[in-house]
Structure 1
Amino acid sequence: MMEDIADLELRMVEHSIPLDVLSDLISRFIINVPESAKQNLIRICFQIELAYWYYLDFYVSNENKLRGCAFKEFAAHVFQHLPFLQPHYGRLDDILEEWRDYKQSVPTYGAILLCEGNTHVLLVQSYWAKSSWGFPKGKVNENEDPAHCAIREVYEETGFDITTYIDLENYFEAVINEQLVRLYVITGISKDTKFQPRTRYEIKACEWFPVADLPNNKKDNTPKVKMGVSPHAFFMVLPFVKRIKGLLNAGKSIKRQRHKSLSFSESESTTKTKFKQVLQRSDSNERNGKDEKKKGHSKRQLFNDDEFIFSAPSWLNFKFDKAAILECIP
């Protein structure tokens, strides 16, 4: 154990996070955690993970003097900096191992709520991460099926019951930071609906946002130009934005896609990003005039023996935003 601590401390000397940056990340994601939750180190690790990805995406990417680090190094900085975590620093390895085991075993389910006309999407803002917006979702309980978990979480976080709206075969699915996330697509919600979170000190606000103005990537400043909101605020939404826009831009009636489901798996690291799409269809080839059958792939299978046609995710549904371009012309 002493050797592990010495090794960790050595690596921390080699990598450092400026105090003002670390303080900003802690204030965004950890400082507002309720006192009762601070006793749950697994829960705290999830908040540290949010801060970590925010650090890589919006500090390291935009500041040449800062470099990326492993999550363990980042967590060590946080544990050393916060007084309530300092007593647990000596067993950081055990805490992170327990957290990873828990995270990989517990998926999260929720919903993407679209208004009538599918022009706006409902996002929620957490008390714990006040500067960020995301979809209403949460971890599944023991022996709870995905749909019931989504219904429960959406109701707890927005006060809206999606029981009569949910289509069990219409969802987006992604593996983000080693955790499965499934979001059921819900359409036809009135923008006049009054949303009232049912849990205290968890959700601060529920607001409609124009789908067209959400960022396609972390450097897309459309939200800043159109809504006055930093694109950084939507980093938890990014894995699903292009798929939502793709469906809407294609002019499809999402509510009628009862025999289709889309699964998108994404995992990110500081050195590489892997994308995997699995389309499960019963009549999906009808639109394209194709009738060959495509096999789904297992979690670790990247290619099969048949011909593989690759389309980079960054080019899916690509189009110019004419309005944004015209606004930049003097």
Structure 2
Amino acid sequence: MAGNTIHRTSSAPMKTILPPQELLDDLCSRFVLNVPQEDLESFERIFFLLEQAHWFYEDNSVEQNPALKSLSFKEFTSLMFNNCAALRPYINHIDDIYKDFTTYKFRVPVSGAIILDESYERCLLVKGWKIGASWSFPRGKKSKDEEDHTCAYREVLEETGFDISNLLNLDDYIEVVIGEQRVRLYIIAGVKEDTAFAPLTKKEISEISWHRLDEILPASDEVFSRGTNGLKLYMVAPFQTALKAWIAAHPPPPGQKTEASAKAMCVWKVKSSNLGGGASTADNQLQKAGSDAQDAADVRPGRSFRNFRFDVPSILQSIDAAFSANEN
């Protein structure tokens, strides 16, 4: 009977799907093939192009169609290699290529900024997107042939929305080597606490806060540790000794107001509903994509791919053939 109809609302998470072939083809064409030939001469460069494709997919495709699965970069590269004609010939080497790229990536120089308030008692830290992410000074990897200060300006603007170009002194920086990676942070002092901060990029920064320097000191003598306030400070601690020395040599202008009792102050935070990613019905297909790579012929050209050259003519020919077959 109509009067007894019961309407039920399901609390089950919305199903997610993998990107369709047309979308993967478009991403491959836009970010991999439509670039200068010199960018197709090594797998490192190709993977940096795939990172841009991944960001575009997450920031635009998933935003516009929430039914699409949010993918890790490794999942995304697996799909691209399995489904894009330009990358498919190299699918049997994807595990070695990915490992080689991640090793290389952690040697790419990083640049950014240590932003201090007017009293030099607080610094601005950003927190990564993923749940459980650590805090760090705003910074990022240098692009090819990019100057350190240019990278710092670009990365700080992307992660905080703050323009440091007129405040940056080329001689005021702290540089450390973490593992095999050189990290240079320019010191930007005297920024007002009420400055508006907000990242320009999506799904990269989850929170921006002012933190007191005396609260983020290492809890022990170990360089990589948590602060006395329990925060994860793996990318902050290595700079603290040099930063204290710089402040001692460059004291703040007299008369700046200090509030010794003030705690950390959040200036921007993403809505919690936008964080993380739920379960997906597409996981089996992702696992299959990975197993297909494992089942391919185990003919490995070697552990390093830095002398790799993309066979662009044959790839373009195969793509043209595929398009012609679809048209017919």
TM-score normalised according to structure 2 size: 0.46
Whose relative contact order is higher, 1 or 2, with alpha carbons under 8 Å and at least 6 apart? 2
Give the TM-score of the pair, scaled to structure 1: 0.46
